[in-house]
With several copies, the nearest count.
Chain A
Amino acid sequence: MREIRIHGRGGQGAVTLAELVCHAAINEGKYAQSMPSFGPERRGAPVLAFLRISDEHIKIRAEVITPDVVVVLDPGLLNITDVTSGLKSGGTVLINTKKSIDEIRSKFGVESRLGVVNAVEIARETLGVPITNTTMIGALLKATKIVKKDSLIEPLKHRFGPIADKNIKAMNRAFDETTIEEV
């Protein structure tokens, strides 16, 4: 089982990210589970979302505390939370940032496997708005291959209808543009 935690802000679609990948995994025949952090957090407030993917029925139903992968939708969150908290050894952190891997490592002391991508720029250019959740799916897939990229197409279409294509494009671009540094 792989456990993923997404950091975002209320309104940025962290939960949607988890859901989309969850659907993709289930459609592949896998077992998967996604959920928001349960609470009354408001637009703007830091929030979490969780995702588990497995080959068997998933019996645990609690927040992900020891993630294999952490996805950070908003670079500002790095200033205020330790996004690596509980990260399993060998785990990956994926960050939407315009900063380089080195800058992140030095500024925030991230020592794990690390991926960065300027998702804001991609989202702005592809979607017209700086909403980075579908974009960051690209980074996630690049870093983990947790599901096939194609598996996202149906969930994205179902979710976004007419603007699905743009989102697919954003995802693909992020997939291509994400830089990953193994450790």
Chain B
Amino acid sequence: MTRRFVTGDENFSPGHRACIGCGEALAMRQVVKALGDNIILVNATGCSEIIASALPTTSWKIPWIHTLFENTASIASGIESALKVVERKGKRKKAKVIAFAGDGGTSDIGLQALSGALERGHDLLYVCFDNEAYMNTGIQRSSSTPYGAWTTTAPSGKMSIGQKTWKKNMPAIAIAHDIPYMATACPSYPFDLMDKVKKAVSVDGPSYLHIYVVCPTGWRCKTNLTIRLGKLAVETGIFPLYEVEEGKYKMSVDPPELTPIKDYFKIQGRFKHLSDEVIEEIQKKVTGDYQRLKEKMEGL
């Protein structure tokens, strides 16, 4: 059934070295399936890059480039501009430029390059794979790590509950750049995800996709829970699926009632130290944020 709507090509070929059950690798696979062949991929340092490019091998069947951790959007900008001129001068036709980066590469060290690219209006799609920490280097906190989560640099301890800051709202920051298309997605909802990828690449100008990806290694959970946890993130309202087209908000999945976050927390090692009070505090924040987000939706 699925195969009818989805290409059988795996331009991100198997044989990659992601951890067993990696949600990021899965998301990459789904995104690449929806992208087609006429693309050029720019990859930030991070799991997405390191699992697929040990010299002298590559998992990539489409043109792919990695240079550094923080400059992905700028490399992509350069390529996009080059393609523009090269096409204008009649040398070659344009391809769509796609950037892949983790949450660290996006909301921390690569934020400025991204902001610049969005502001300048390059015709490219930037995809952030948000596994809520620096996983490639071994589970350090990022600004995208959720409040209360354990990481190696925001460990729980006598003086610490784990991550002390609330998750940076990258989708909101992207939207504040007034770009034509922004959406959130999760590979637990593959068709929604692939639809959004297609919409995003069809836009002329910058688009941004923020994809929630489960990392069993960093989240300290079983490898077979990758899909389940992604669904729970959506069903609890922790990671709402929505899109913003030309400033208009639309909810993609709107559960009639939000599942309590503790259902999501309890199957992950990174939250196991949290007291009921802290969980309650987080529950309030999640509910409130979800409510405020829904208020932005058109036709509600």
Q: Note whether A and B contact each other (Cβ less than 8 A).
A: yes
Task: Please tell me if B6 contacts chain A, counting CB pairs below 8 Å.
Answer: no
Q: How far is the CA of A92 from the CA of B141 in the complex (A)?
A: 42
Task: Please tell me if B179 contacts chain A, counting CB pairs below 8 Å.
Answer: no
Task: Please tell me if A130 contacts chain B, counting CB pairs below 8 Å.
Answer: no
Pairwise interchain contact A11-B217, C-beta atoms closer than 8 A? yes
Task: Please tell me if B29 contacts chain A, counting CB pairs below 8 Å.
Answer: no
What is the distance, in angstroms, from B89's C-beta to the closest C-beta of chain A?
A: 30
Pairwise interchain contact B217-A45, C-beta atoms closer than 8 A? no
Contacts of A41 on B, CB cut-off 8 Å?
17
Contacts of A45 on B, CB cut-off 8 Å?
17
Of the candidates B19, B50, B136, which one forms a contact with A43 in the assembled complex, judged by CB atoms under 8 Å apart? B19
Contacts of B18 on A, CB cut-off 8 Å?
42
Contacts of B17 on A, CB cut-off 8 Å?
41-42, 45
CB nearest neighbor in A for B47? A42
Pairwise interchain contact B50-A44, C-beta atoms closer than 8 A? no
Task: Please tell me if B51 contacts chain A, counting CB pairs below 8 Å.
Answer: yes
Task: Please tell me if B102 contacts chain A, counting CB pairs below 8 Å.
Answer: no
Pairwise interchain contact A44-B20, C-beta atoms closer than 8 A? yes
- Which residues 34-65 in A have Cβ within 8 Å of B in the complex? 40-45
Pairwise interchain contact A40-B217, C-beta atoms closer than 8 A? no
CB nearest neighbor in B for A42? B19
- Which residues 129-184 in B have Cβ within 8 Å of A in the complex? 136
Of the candidates B136, B216, B223, which one forms a contact with A40 in the assembled complex, judged by CB atoms under 8 Å apart? B136
What is the distance, in angstroms, from B270's C-beta to the closest C-beta of chain A?
A: 15
Q: How far is the CA of A41 from the CA of B20 in the complex (A)?
A: 11
Pairwise interchain contact A10-B19, C-beta atoms closer than 8 A? yes
What is the distance, in angstroms, from A8's C-beta to the closest C-beta of chain B?
A: 14
Contacts of B50 on A, CB cut-off 8 Å?
40
Q: How far is the CA of A10 from the CA of B17 in the complex (A)?
A: 11
CB nearest neighbor in B for A40? B50
Pairwise interchain contact A43-B51, C-beta atoms closer than 8 A? no
Contacts of A40 on B, CB cut-off 8 Å?
50, 136
What is the distance, in angstroms, from A86's C-beta to the closest C-beta of chain B?
A: 23
Q: How far is the CA of A45 from the CA of B17 in the complex (A)?
A: 8
Contacts of A11 on B, CB cut-off 8 Å?
19, 217
Contacts of A44 on B, CB cut-off 8 Å?
19-20
Q: How far is the CA of A81 from the CA of B22 in the complex (A)?
A: 24
* Residue of B17, B22, B136, B223 with most partner-chain A CB within 10 A: B17
CB nearest neighbor in A for B20? A44
Contacts of B51 on A, CB cut-off 8 Å?
42
What is the distance, in angstroms, from B16's C-beta to the closest C-beta of chain A?
A: 10
CB nearest neighbor in B for A11? B217
Q: How far is the CA of A45 from the CA of B19 in the complex (A)?
A: 8
Q: How far is the CA of A44 from the CA of B20 in the complex (A)?
A: 6
Chain B residues proximal to chain A, CB less than 8 Å:
17-20, 22, 50-51, 136, 216-217, 223
Question: Could you list some 21 contacts between A and B, CB below 8 A?
Answer: A10-B19, A11-B19, A11-B217, A40-B50, A40-B136, A41-B17, A42-B17, A42-B18, A42-B19, A42-B20, A42-B22, A42-B51, A42-B217, A43-B19, A43-B20, A43-B216, A43-B217, A43-B223, A44-B19, A44-B20, A45-B17
Give 19 A-B pairs besides A42-B51, A43-B216 with Cβ atoms closer than 8 angstroms.
A10-B19, A11-B19, A11-B217, A40-B50, A40-B136, A41-B17, A42-B17, A42-B18, A42-B19, A42-B20, A42-B22, A42-B217, A43-B19, A43-B20, A43-B217, A43-B223, A44-B19, A44-B20, A45-B17
